[in-house]
Amino acid sequence: MSEIYMPRLSDTMEEGVISSWVKSVGDKVASGDVLVEIETDKAVMEYEAYEDGYLVKQAVSEGDTVPIGAVIGYIGDSPDAAPEESGGGAAEQSGQAEQAAQAEEAEQAPPAGEDSPQPAGGAAEPQAAPAAQDGDGAQQGTRPRSSPLARRLAREYGLDIEAITGSGPKGRVVRADIEAAAKQRQDGAAPAQQPAAQAPAAPAGRGQEAYDDGRASTELPVSNVRKVIARRLTQSKQEVPHFYLRRTIDAEALKAFRGQINEQLESTGVKVSFNDLIVKAAATTLRAHPEVNTSWVDDKLLQHGRINVGVAVAVDAGLLVPVLHDADKTPLSEIATRTRELAGKARDGKLKPQEMSGGTFSVSNLGMFGMDSFSAVINPPEAAILAVGAMRQQPVVRDGEIVARNTIALELSVDHRAVDGAVGAAFLKDLAEVLENPMRIIL
């Protein structure tokens, strides 16, 4: 009898939702068969069997949210096999619960500067030995047992983890305890922020709160993608010292160049967008400015040998950033084709982990929504992200005369720990020159 565990299908995944069981109980399973579709924080992914046998039990139902490492099903040698009941008594059950709690909070690749998950230790020392350490590296008797994720969330919320009672096995402080404490503090602070006579108390029903005007708001379900977006952007703004550089380029030559390229590619069915040109131009410019193609990780500055550009894609659940690997070496027509493929897979929830990892620089374009300019939030551990606004006709001075020219506003958000202002400005200056002389994009 083999257990099927909730796998880690992305570097930021902490839990998964059972989207649908492809195999039913009693079905024969061969290695490589798709067992179940799992919704992660980024996409819906297929999980394959690693051995032959029969699916004898689905331990969780469709729609259930399951932490990393938890058992979701069993594969046996025959369709009539049944999972063995635990025969190890309370000690073994406690150990299994402890493993599940550790899996719930584990993070395979923690953000820069965070504690790394520690392997579980052996049998716990007696409580009388205050210096003994548990599997989390915490000293028993000096601070509560907790996971790296719980400690990180406690720091983000500004909570004293020692004052929080854990609900996990052996009193372990888990993520749910931190979130409950944060909500309790927020709810407790609300009356002090408003005069007592200003607004009536909110109704007790789940999902609605009363506003001063008497209208109600509805609590919407939050997807795994939205939760991860919220957590990572909070981390980025709190931990990454952003600074911003802005420049408006003359896009007349870029517009004409795009028309010429698409005319030549018409018979192939490939169509190059302005964003494709900007992605390729950014990758080309990064070759000349490798100091921008860096990451600040654990007080170390890493300069990347490959130029992998992430392209922000808006989806119903939020925002995904598929990555174009080796974008500086990829032909423009292939960038156009690959970008559309990745964007389609992002909207369908079918991106693979490798298609969302390894980014060293990102481009976010809101020009299609008519935005003149905006400031993008850096996607850690990258050191910079380029925000692209809409093409606009603006009055500019040419040869002493005011004329109408197409322009695009660019804004570079930079991690000041990794890149200095002059270095970022030099990169943006050269990028603008490449875009204003677009033949340099493909040379």
- Residues annotated as part of the active site: 416
Residue 285 · residue 335 · CB < 8 Å: no
Closest CA to 20 of 81, 74, 72: 72
Residue 332 · residue 441 · CB < 8 Å: yes
CA atoms of 365 and 309, how far apart (whole Å): 13
CA atoms of 295 and 140, how far apart (whole Å): 36
Q: Per 3-state DSSP, what percentage of the chain is helix, strand, and coil (rounded to 5)?
A: 35, 25, 40
**Look-up: residue for tokens 């980024």?**
42
CA atoms of 192 and 187, how far apart (whole Å): 10
Three-class secondary structure of residue 176 per DSSP: helix
Residue 228 · residue 399 · CB < 8 Å: no
The token pair that represents 271 in the structure block: 């169509």
Residue 303 · residue 291 · CB < 8 Å: yes
Residue 91's identity, in one-letter code, is: A
Backbone phi and psi for residue 387, each to the nearest 5 degrees, phi listed first: -100, 130
338: left (phi over 0), alpha (psi -120 to 50) or beta: alpha
- DSSP class of residue 146 equals B
CA atoms of 251 and 407, how far apart (whole Å): 5
CA atoms of 406 and 408, how far apart (whole Å): 7
Which stretches of 132-257 are assigned E, i.e. beta strand? 208-210, 216-218, 242-250
